[in-house]
Amino acid sequence: MTEEIQNLRGQALTEILTCKDLSKLENLRIKFLGRKSKISFLLSQIGKLSKEERPVIGNLLNKTKKEIENQISSRKEALQILKRKKSKPQKAFDITLPGRPTEIGAKHPLFQTWEEIENIFISLGFEIVEGPEIETEYYNFDALNTPEWHPARNLSDTFYLKNGMLLRTETSPVQIHVMERYKPPIRIIAPGRCYRNDKPDASHSPIFHQFEALVVDVGITFADLKGTLDSFVKRLFGEKIHSRFRPHFFPFTEPSAEIDILCINCNGKGCKLCKNTGWLEMGGAGMVDPNVLKEVKYDSEKYTGFAFGLGIDRITMLRYRIPDIRILFKNDLRFLQQFV
pLDDT at 148 over 70: yes
Range of 54-63, 130-139, 318-327 with top mean pLDDT: 130-139
SS3 assignment, position 44: helix
Q: Which of 5-19, 147-161, 179-193, 288-302 has the lowest mean pLDDT?
A: 5-19
pLDDT for residue 90: 63
Strand partners, 78: none
pLDDT for residue 89: 62
- Kindly give the interhelix angle for 222-237 and 312-319, rounded to the nearest 10 degrees: 40
pLDDT for residue 212: 94
pLDDT for residue 88: 62
Q: How far is CA 117 from CA 9, 185, 213, 285, in A?
A: 78, 22, 11, 17
pLDDT in tens, 300-310: 999 999 999 99
State the pairing for strand pair 166-167/253-262: unpaired
Q: Produce one character per residue of 289-320: b if its CB has 16 or more CB atoms within 10 Å, e if not.
A: bbebbebbebeeeebbbbbbbbbbbbbbbbeb
Share of the chain above pLDDT 70, in %: 98
Distance, C-alpha 176 to centroid of its chain? 24
Averaged pLDDT for residues 47-74? 82
Q: How confident is the model at residue 44 (pLDDT cuts 50, 70, 90)?
A: confident
pTM attached to this predicted model: 0.67
| CA dist., res. 81 & res. 103, Å (int) | 39
SS3 assignment, position 98: coil
pLDDT in tens, 87-118: 666 667 778 888 888 877 788 999 999 999 99
Averaged pLDDT for residues 216-220? 95
Averaged pLDDT for residues 240-260? 91
